[in-house]
A and B are shown apart, each in its own frame.
Chain A
Amino acid sequence: MNRLFTWGSAARIIALLIVSALIVIPLLATVLGGFKTSGELRVAPFGLPQVWRTEFYGEIFADPFFWRYLWNSLVISLVTVGLTLILGSMAAYAFAQVRFFGSQFLFSYLLLGLMFPFAAAIMPLFLIVRDFGLLDTPWGVILPQVGFGLAFSIMFFRTFFSQLPAELFEAARVDGCSYVGFYFRFTLPLSTPILATIAVFIFVQSWNNYLLPLIMLNDRSGYTWTLGAMDYRGEYTADWNRTLAFVSATLAPAVIFFLAAQKYIVAGLTGGAVKE
């Protein structure tokens, strides 16, 4: 029995290490590749660099456009998160607190957004944004993102809000608290865990988004970093080391953010699985 267990755990560790290697090695090669010359990269793509060259990273960090891209992505993501949380939590509060005529219908209508391959409507969406005069503005990306994030967040918020103790609401009503007042004074402060979880998911989605910025943004000064990375790749087709340096420079914020927000990401996945 004991020996069997050992064999089993050895196989388990080997399997885990192989999968980990498949994930870590490409990432490591990317970060290290930015320190190599193009010639060295051809010969030894996966080893440590012979000489640590910092000029490719240096060039990127000195490029004002790089910072511009990151800034644009940050602004778009933060505004998307803010708007989605406000609009989503208000609507979810209405659904959780009040049963009004048509509420079930309206709720199902909003949930349609969950079963929707959003890319399907990309052409008319482009025209709508154009007709609003929002092309080449951050709003052209933000508003559609908010629209698509609403269904997801309303579903999670409503579940959470309706689990808050009903006695609290009744007591506040007796003391003369209005519906709107209760939302600001009790519902929001009590809901920080779910707000944070949804915020993290919406943020990551927006930060990584490529299709919407690609369609809505044409002017290079308004590019998000995903567009910038593709642009950079097109500009230096023969120099993988530069593209790798660029990608690595954008990986850092993502990984740091992930480590900081890990708790909420896991909470969100758990919530989704338990809810259904």
Chain B
Amino acid sequence: MAVNDGIAQAPRRSAWRYVPVSDRTRMLLIFLPPAVLVFSIFVILPMVQAGFFAPYKWSGYGPAPWAMNEATGNPFGQWVGARNFDRMAGHSAFQAAATNTAMVVGVSLLIQLPLALAMALLIYRKSYANTVFRLIFFVPYILAEVATGLIWSFVLDGNYGLSRYASDLMGLGKALFPLAEKPWAFYSILGVIVWKYFGFHMMIYIAGLQSIPRELLESARIDGAKPLQRVIYIKLPLLWPAITVSVFYAVLGGLQVFDLVMPMTAGGPSNSSHTLVSYLYIFGFIRLDVGYGSAVGVFLFCVGVIFAFAYRNTVQREGRP
């Protein structure tokens, strides 16, 4: 192996022999630029551009909204200042999308995480049956959002699925179409979000619970701590780092729900079930309104980054030992 390596290395060394840098610097020059470049071009640059495009009305034709179009003598885009943001704030569909997104975050934190925690407490011990349950609960997380959305739009279809079944059982004259009725369409999406992601958070908690020293729980039991007391006074405090991680994922993930919305409702009925991202897609991308889409993006970015910084500097900092 060493011999092979020597042969493979020889040409590389000779190529670098004429570059007057140390071995260390050479490594840095080879290893860092590719990652930094790809990250800058495809993650940072678009976000910065979104900030610059937001005050324009622009269809995306031409290199930039402020560039001159030689054919017409006008710029490609039109400066509209804060009008995109005004329009956003006044648009009822945007208000619905923002409220819905807040609801996703709320439901994730108040229903999904407690459910995940409860399930984790029930099945964190190592046994065969627990492993099977763990696998079952984790399957929805592995499924693609699109597949999940299609499956549930079948289940909730009043002509076919569970919804028809349930309305027959309850003796209702007509079937329920939850995905076509106003508050229920988004409630259904919320339910599916819990269904799909609680297993992910459960796994984080299980990992945390399994790392609690067994002697600690044992001695608490001998000292007469009841099961509920052991949960509240030992397991939850020791689980705190895992909980802070899962809250972070839940909020940042909740802000970006899109894939589930498209197969289930595509934002309907009458634009009542959009999330911020599906709103951005329909009103920015589909309508080729780059400025407006960027303005919505800037809003989403600010919400996400403000949360992330605030969270990292308060909750997660305190949680550290």
Q: Which residues of A are in contact with B by a Cβ distance under 8 Å?
A: 8, 12, 15-16, 19-20, 22-24, 26-27, 29-30, 33, 41-42, 45-46, 83, 87-88, 90-91, 93-94, 97-98, 100, 106, 109-110, 112-128, 130-131, 143-144, 146-148, 150-151, 154, 178-181, 183-185, 204, 207-208, 210-211, 214-215, 226, 229-230, 233, 240, 243-244, 247, 250-251, 254-255, 258, 262, 265-266, 269-270, 272-274, 276
Contact = CB atoms under 8 A, between A and B. Distances in A.
Contacts of B43: 112-113, 116, 118, 121, 144, 147-148, 150-151
Given A229-B147, A230-B262, 16 more contacts: A20-B137, A22-B195, A23-B136, A41-B160, A94-B28, A118-B43, A119-B280, A123-B46, A128-B49, A150-B35, A210-B146, A211-B277, A230-B263, A269-B204, A274-B211, A276-B319
Chain B interface residue bracket vs A: 35 or more
Contacts of A214: 281
Contacts of B301: 116-117, 120-121
Nearest to A178: B23
A120 B47 contact: yes
Given A27-B139, A87-B34, A276-B245, A119 B150 contact: no
Select the residue from A22, A204, A214, A269 with max chain B CB neighbours within 10 A: A269
Nearest to B258: A211
Given A33-B154, A90-B34, A146 B42 contact: yes
Contacts of B85: none
Interface stretch (B91-99, B182-190, B216-224, B290-298): B290-298
B162 interface: yes
Contacts of B208: 273
A182 to B, nearest CB: 9
Nearest to B239: A273
A136 to B, nearest CB: 16
Contact of B39 (A15, A150, A258): A150
A147 B24 CA distance: 25
Interface string B37-76: 0110111111101100100000010010000000000000
B110 interface: no
B188 to A, nearest CB: 13
B145 A210 contact: yes
Contact of A250 (B50, B147, B297): B147
Contact of B160 (A110, A121, A240): A240
Contacts of A215: 285
A94 B27 contact: yes
Interface string B10-27: 001000000000011011
Contacts of B41: 128, 143, 147
